[in-house]
């Protein structure tokens, strides 16, 4: 259906410069009028007036986005809202609430979230139609004239005249004020028809097919009756381009509601539901959509007092997935919230959380049944808790059986299959993570929360600023600029934000219309910080050009230029940060000249230069409502200043590394310093005393914030984690895991229920700080670098950025053994032929040989000083290691003795390679070593004699990839010139050259050496057939938008593509036809590596296998790889 309601909106509601960007609109959405000037990420999830504010002609005010929002409680109730929920006959409890618009303070007509998607014009106040009394004695209020012209061919023209708007708050019949209104005479038959239409929500479009059900008429009879009602101006109609006729019942007034009793209304809701239920044999989850029923079924169930049926509907994966694809995430979440508002249901609540985590993955592949496996993958941990209900455990068991059957069925019928994880490796529902806000393509520099407490604003180095519904996870507005963005600040009324950018410009973005209000030019280099005063009158911007500019928000004019900072050489300094006092009269700016300057903005003069720091001053904040400030410096101290006297009152010392930021709580009582020494400190700003030191991060701390109750502090770090701390004890209460790169910014909601973090991984994440902490699933702290399957086993070894090597039981998803013997990141791994011994190495030459059965150590080579390791490879017994250093020396080490037994290339040796060596290969028997060079050549060496057996030449640029075939008869080399060569081992004769139009980033050879897959920098993937006549193309995979991180072939020659977009894609290639996607899996972080495990159990004789997948967050996923995929 799309948003048919938008067609019935008045054209007068459109901003004259508005533009809506909507991907792939449906037929009905193409007929809509544009009502906003922003880009919309999910057009079906939001109605036309939900993208920015549009005029409401009934009241002359502005209505904004009606969020499906619960403020501080995402689960189902607003903590600050008054009133109780009612089941029936009122439409919904939230219809009695007055909701505010998106990031704005404008009013919004109360009503259901679907009702907010319809607006209609009313004439000027004052016009009226005389009352009339029908022959049947029914008083029927005259409807107000609501012009609906969008397309002349589809809509009736606006008629002159009309009636004055009737004040009404919406909501239930019992809650609406009854006011005297004009009347219009209707025949009994039409009065009865109008009475039956009361089952519909006001201002909600419904197709004629729904009216047929309500009236019990055929199509032509229903259209005729509808036309009679339309002619009397009591309903409005529209015809879509597909010829379908839709109708809407304008907002009801009190007297019209007297036409029907509560019990009659309940009965009508039940009759309508029963008419649909009869078509699907009582299985409402399978009811066909007519453009209306999927969108409004929960509304009718609530008003029919059949609330119990909603729980079954909202826990049915097929229903959730179908509605998600048809109407978007916001509409599905709205159904959950309606249900949870009238019934407390912990099981449905946790399913809602799982749905919100799964929705992004499901929308990426709309044609694949992904909801069931995604929900299961995100509820595994919660389902194992003792506190989980028996219903949920039974539901999980039933869904697991259905998912397994579905997986094998789709695999066997050559349909696209969603691979099912065997353990709780996906982000889990019921825990602290609530939403991942994906949409930026570069690091997110800053995140803020609007004063309304539910909209999140993010700015990114990709040049875009995006506004998100924090509760739903939808991007509702987006603005793209021409250069990376650096900072953002939202005005106190939430109607505007100031955005700073790297090109020296700033802009004022109106968040109610989506229009850029002013572009602020004047800075000559990057803007580092922006701030808006609490009065919403001024904003200030700080730049690398050494100035701070003061701007009038209303006009965009520059009022003042604050300068005076000079560095130690006398040159103009860099201003890193700026803050405005609570009364808007003072600005404090800090610079690399080791000082803080305080300016009186009203008198336009510098009051004090605050000196005392011994290094760059990088952060400043005013303390509460006072005129005192606190500054943080790279000299490892923070200072509290009395700006009235220009004196330092406290020196906050104790850190051993430079400070990155200082923050002050809203009350001005506490300060938090964030340091490179891996700690944060909480200070009493009145006394200067350190209250607690927060120790636990593994990298520099970038930002922190304190909850309003002063009990908790949230810190974020370059180690990609956030921690929640108890202020008094300094104990760590909770870890925020999920980001895969440094976290730059953090903010909490007013009541401290939620925190939002922004990261260099391009995402922002919403965390529930009051959620239970789920059992920790085994994982690496950081990126999984490599996976190595043990031969003829269901076990696999993973190595990660945390320096650990883990041995996993792939069938159970548990760690059997762990090796923590390295002092640096483990980057290289080798296995003995029988898989009993493993050797792992690091860049500091530390090599550990250990048993895979229990992780016990066999031998060790200590770390060494000097040139670091560039590459390391092992022979098939894990007894020898060939080591390449960054000085291009290549040596062979006996791992049992630790002695260097061979030196193939010494320092400065240019006999074979005229440039540096990039990488190595070693044969399984340890007799042959391959060296690949920047000069475009590869040398093949005999290890016993240290003689050169052959040289591969032909690459015009550096060789970036090498591989040896399973039988070690072929050597594959790929150069930065796009050339891939297949050469014979060991003489190096070239057998085949394959030319590509971009540099290769990874390649894979099938087990039978029949297929070669090559992924390029431009994200394309080529497959070559090597059997028969060498070099025949076997196909090219469809274009991708994300980089390829890895390629591998399954034992049955299926190609597995690992994506930076979190996807694992399985392709059937080389069968004579075009490549066919056979399976997919979507994780929560970029996929980094994979390996096939041979069997589910040691004595398993089936052809089923397990695909182990590692990702950038440190998780290892074990995916069922059904036998049907191989056939």
Distance of CA 984 to the CA centre of its chain: 47
CA distances from 648 to 78, 97, 630, 641 (A): 44, 50, 9, 4
pLDDT for 125 equals: 29
Report the pLDDT averaged over residues 431-452. 92
Over residues 713-726, the pLDDT tens digits come to: 999 999 999 999 99
pLDDT for 773 equals: 83
Q: How many residues does the chain have?
A: 1127
Which of 1114, 1091, 1113, 1079 lies closest to 413, judged by CA?
A: 1079
| Strand pairing class (1054-1059; 1044-1049) | antiparallel
pLDDT for 1033 equals: 85
Q: Is the pLDDT of residue 744 over 80?
A: yes
Structure tokens at 405: 């059957």
Please state the φ and ψ torsions of residue 589, each to the nearest 5 degrees. -130, 145
Q: Are 636 and 655 in contact (CB under 8 A)?
A: yes
Quick one: pLDDT band at residue 1091, thresholds 50, 70, 90?
very high
| Strand pairing class (1076-1082; 417-418) | parallel
Q: Is the pLDDT of residue 753 over 50?
A: yes
Q: Is the pLDDT of residue 959 over 90?
A: yes
Please state the φ and ψ torsions of residue 135, each to the nearest 5 degrees. -60, -25
pLDDT for 1071 equals: 76
pLDDT for 548 equals: 95
pLDDT for 1083 equals: 94
pLDDT for 181 equals: 36
The DSSP code for 772 is: P
- How close are the terminal C-alpha atoms of the chain, in Å? 39
Calpha distance 580→1016 (Å, rounded): 50
Q: In what order do the strands lie in the sheet with 880-885?
A: 869-874, 880-885, 890-894, 899-905
Residue burial 390-405, b: 16+ Cβ < 10 Å; e: rest: eebeebbeebbeebee
Q: Where is pLDDT greater, at 77 or 714?
A: 714
Over residues 228-272, the pLDDT tens digits come to: 999 988 889 998 888 889 999 877 655 555 567 889 999 999 999
Angle, to 10 degrees, between the axis of helix 346-364 and the axis of helix 317-327?
50
pLDDT for 252 equals: 62
Calpha distance 374→425 (Å, rounded): 11
Which of 824, 785, 792 lies closest to 806, judged by CA?
A: 785
The DSSP code for 209 is: H
Helices and strands: H and E segment counts in the chain: 13, 69
Q: Is the pLDDT of residue 966 over 80?
A: yes
Calpha distance 354→339 (Å, rounded): 16
pTM for the model: 0.78
Distance of CA 305 to the CA centre of its chain: 36
Report the pLDDT averaged over residues 637-654. 96
Q: Is the pLDDT of residue 408 over 50?
A: yes
DSSP for 549-576?
Answer: EEEETTT--EEEEE---B-TTSSB--EE
Quick one: pLDDT band at residue 570, thresholds 50, 70, 90?
low
CB atoms within 10 A of CB 1103: 15
HEC readout, 311-374 = HHHHCCHHHHHHHHHHHCHHHHHHHHHHHHHHCCCHHHHHHHHHHHHHHHHHHHCCCCCCHHHH
Q: Is 710 left (phi over 0), alpha (psi -120 to 50) or beta?
A: left
Report the pLDDT averaged over residues 137-160. 27
Q: Is 258 left (phi over 0), alpha (psi -120 to 50) or beta?
A: alpha
HEC readout, 858-904 = EEEECCCCCCCEEEEEECCCCCEEEEEECCCCEEEEECCCCEEEEEE
Handedness of CA 7, 12, 15, 17 (dihedral sign): positive
Over residues 323-346, the pLDDT tens digits come to: 999 999 989 999 999 999 999 999
Quick one: pLDDT band at residue 1035, thresholds 50, 70, 90?
confident
Over residues 1058-1079, the pLDDT tens digits come to: 999 999 999 999 877 889 999 9
H or E element in which residue 230 lies: helix 219-231
Highest mean pLDDT out of 49-63, 378-392, 1113-1127:
378-392
Q: Is the pLDDT of residue 79 over 60?
A: no
Quick one: pLDDT band at residue 191, thresholds 50, 70, 90?
confident
**Residues near 278 by beta carbon (within 8 Å), at least 6 away in sequence:** none
Structure tokens at 838: 């493993």
CA distances from 789 to 838, 1092, 1093 (A): 11, 7, 6
Q: Is the pLDDT of residue 47 over 90?
A: no
Distance of CA 827 to the CA centre of its chain: 29
Which of 66, 62, 69 lies closest to 106, judged by CA?
A: 62
Computed over every residue of the chain, the mean pLDDT equals 82
Angle, to 10 degrees, between the axis of helix 390-412 and the axis of helix 371-383?
140
Calpha distance 136→152 (Å, rounded): 37
Q: Where is pLDDT greater, at 1096 or 167?
A: 1096
Q: Are 762 and 752 in contact (CB under 8 A)?
A: no
Angle, to 10 degrees, between the axis of helix 346-364 and the axis of helix 371-383?
140
CA angle 24, 26, 28 (to 5 degrees): 145
Q: Where is pLDDT greater, at 526 or 195?
A: 526
| Strand pairing class (979-984; 970-975) | antiparallel
Q: Are 494 and 105 in contact (CB under 8 A)?
A: yes
Under DSSP, is residue 1056 helix (H, G, I), strand (E, B) or coil?
strand
Q: Are 656 and 613 in contact (CB under 8 A)?
A: no
Calpha distance 252→245 (Å, rounded): 22
């Amino acid at each position: 259906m799309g948003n048919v309601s938008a067609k019935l909106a008045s054209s007068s509601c459109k901003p004259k410069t508005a533009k809506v960007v909507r991907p792939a609109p449906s037929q009905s959405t193409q007929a809509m009028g544009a009502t906003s000037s922003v880009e919309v990420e999910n057009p079906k999830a939001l109605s036309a007036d939900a993208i920015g504010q549009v005029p409401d002609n009934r009241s002359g005010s502005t209505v904004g986005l009606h969020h499906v929002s619960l403020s501080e409680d995402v689960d189902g109730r607003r903590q600050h809202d008054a009133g109780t929920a009612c089941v029936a006959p009122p439409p919904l409890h939230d219809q009695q609430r007055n909701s505010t618009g998106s990031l704005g303070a404008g009013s919004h007509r109360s009503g259901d979230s679907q009702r907010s998607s319809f607006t209609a014009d009313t004439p000027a106040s004052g016009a009226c139609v005389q009352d009339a009394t029908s022959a049947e004695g029914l008083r029927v209020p005259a409807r107000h004239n609501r012009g609906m012209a969008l397309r002349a061919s589809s809509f009736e023209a606006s008629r002159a005249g009309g009636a004055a708007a009737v004040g009404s708050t919406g909501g239930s019949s019992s809650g609406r004020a009854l006011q005297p209104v004009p009347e219009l005479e209707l025949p009994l038959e039409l009065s009865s028809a109008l009475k039956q239409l009361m089952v519909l929500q006001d201002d909600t479009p419904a197709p004629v097919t729904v009216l047929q059900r309500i009236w019990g008429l055929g199509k032509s009879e229903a259209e005729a009756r509808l036309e009679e009602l339309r002619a009397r101006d009591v309903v409005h109609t529209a015809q879509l381009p597909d010829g379908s006729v839709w109708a809407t019942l304008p907002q009801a007034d009190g007297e019209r509601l007297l036409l029907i009793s509560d019990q009659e209304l309940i009965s009508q809701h039940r009759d309508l539901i029963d008419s649909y239920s009869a078509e699907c044999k009582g299985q409402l989850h399978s009811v066909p959509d007519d453009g209306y029923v999927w969108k409004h079924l929960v509304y009718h169930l609530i008003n029919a007092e059949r609330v119990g049926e909603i729980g079954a509907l909202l826990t049915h994966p097929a229903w959730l997935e179908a509605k998600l694809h048809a109407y978007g995430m916001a509409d599905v979440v709205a159904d959950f919230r309606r249900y949870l508002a009238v019934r407390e249901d912990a099981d449905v609540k946790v399913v809602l959380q799982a749905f919100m985590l799964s929705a992004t993955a499901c929308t990426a592949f709309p044609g694949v049944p992904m909801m069931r496996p995604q929900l299961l993958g995100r509820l595994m941990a919660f389902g194992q808790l003792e506190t989980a209900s028996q219903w949920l455990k039974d539901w999980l068991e039933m869904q697991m059986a259905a998912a397994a059957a579905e997986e094998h069925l789709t695999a066997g019928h050559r349909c696209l299959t969603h691979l099912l994880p065997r353990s709780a490796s996906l982000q889990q529902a019921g825990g602290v993570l609530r939403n991942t806000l994906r949409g930026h393509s570069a690091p997110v520099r800053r995140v803020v929360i609007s004063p309304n407490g539910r909209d999140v604003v993010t700015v990114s180095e990709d040049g875009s600023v995006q506004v998100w519904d924090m509760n739903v996870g939808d991007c509702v507005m987006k603005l793209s600029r021409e250069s990376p963005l650096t900072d953002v600040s939202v005005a106190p009324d939430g109607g505007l934000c100031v955005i700073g950018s790297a090109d020296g410009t700033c802009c004022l973005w109106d968040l109610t219309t989506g229009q850029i209000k002013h572009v602020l030019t004047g800075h000559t280099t990057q803007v580092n910080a922006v701030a808006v005063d609490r009065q919403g009158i001024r904003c200030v911007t700080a730049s690398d050009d050494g100035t701070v500019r003061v701007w009038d928000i209303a006009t965009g004019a520059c009022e003042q230029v604050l300068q005076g900072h000079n560095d130690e050489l006398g040159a103009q300094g860099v201003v890193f940060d700026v803050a405005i006092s609570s009364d808007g009269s003072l600005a404090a700016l800090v610079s690399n000249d080791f000082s803080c300057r305080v300016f009186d903005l009203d008198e336009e003069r510098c009051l004090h230069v605050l000196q005392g720091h011994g290094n760059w001053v990088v952060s400043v904040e005013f303390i509460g409502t006072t005129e005192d400030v606190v500054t943080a410096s790279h000299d490892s101290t923070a200072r509290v200043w009395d700006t009235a006297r220009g004196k330092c009152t406290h020196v906050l010392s104790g850190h051993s590394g430079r400070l990155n930021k200082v923050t002050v709580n809203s009350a001005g009582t506490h300060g938090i310093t964030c340091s490179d020494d891996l700690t944060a400190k909480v200070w009493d700003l009145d006394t200067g005393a350190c209250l607690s030191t927060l120790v636990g991060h593994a990298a520099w701390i970038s930002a922190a914030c304190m909850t309003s109750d002063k009990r908790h502090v949230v810190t974020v770090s370059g180690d990609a984690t956030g921690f929640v701390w108890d202020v008094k004890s300094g104990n760590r209460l909770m870890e925020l895991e999920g980001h895969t790169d440094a976290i730059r910014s953090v903010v909490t909601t007013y009541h401290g229920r939620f925190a939002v973090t922004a990261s260099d991984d391009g995402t922002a994440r919403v965390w529930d700080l009051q959620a239970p902490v789920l059992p920790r699933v085994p994982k690496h702290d950081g990126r999984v670098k490599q996976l190595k399957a043990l031969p003829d086993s269901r076990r696999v070894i993973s190595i990660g950025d945390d320096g650990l090597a883990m041995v996993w039981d792939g069938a159970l998803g548990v760690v059997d053994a762990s090796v923590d013997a390295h002092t640096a990141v483990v980057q290289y791994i080798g296995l003995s032929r029988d898989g009993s011994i493993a050797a792992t190495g690091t860049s500091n030459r530390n090599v550990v040989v250990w048993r895979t059965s229990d992780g016990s150590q066999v031998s060790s080579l200590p770390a060494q000083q000097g040139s670091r390791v560039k590459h390391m490879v092992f022979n098939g017994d894990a007894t020898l290691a060939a080591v390449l250093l960054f000085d291009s020396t290549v040596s062979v080490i006996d791992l049992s003795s630790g002695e260097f037994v061979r030196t193939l290339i010494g320092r400065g040796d240019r006999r074979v390679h005229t440039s540096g060596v990039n990488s190595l290969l070693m044969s399984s028997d340890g007799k042959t070593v391959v060296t690949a060079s920047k000069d475009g050549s590869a040398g093949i060496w005999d290890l016993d004699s240290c003689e050169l057996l052959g040289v591969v030449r032909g690459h015009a640029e550096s060789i970036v990839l090498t591989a040896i075939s399973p039988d070690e008869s072929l050597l594959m080399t790929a150069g930065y010139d796009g050339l891939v060569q297949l050469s014979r081992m060991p003489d190096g004769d070239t057998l085949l050259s394959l030319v590509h139009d971009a540099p290769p980033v990874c390649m894979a050879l099938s087990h039978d050496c029949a297929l070669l897959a090559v992924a390029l920098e431009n994200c394309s993937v080529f497959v070559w057939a090597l059997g028969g006549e060498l070099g025949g193309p076997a196909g090219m995979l469809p274009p991708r938008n994300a980089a390829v991180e890895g390629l591998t072939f399954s034992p049955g020659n299926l190609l597995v593509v690992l994506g930076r977009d979190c996807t694992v894609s399985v392709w059937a290639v080389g069968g004579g036809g075009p490549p066919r996607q056979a399976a997919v899996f979507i994780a929560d972080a970029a996929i980094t590596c994979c390996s096939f495990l041979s069997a589910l159990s040691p004595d398993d004789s089936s052809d089923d296998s397990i695909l182990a997948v590692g990702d950038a967050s440190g998780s290892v996923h074990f995916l069922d790889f059904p036998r049907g995929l191989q056939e």
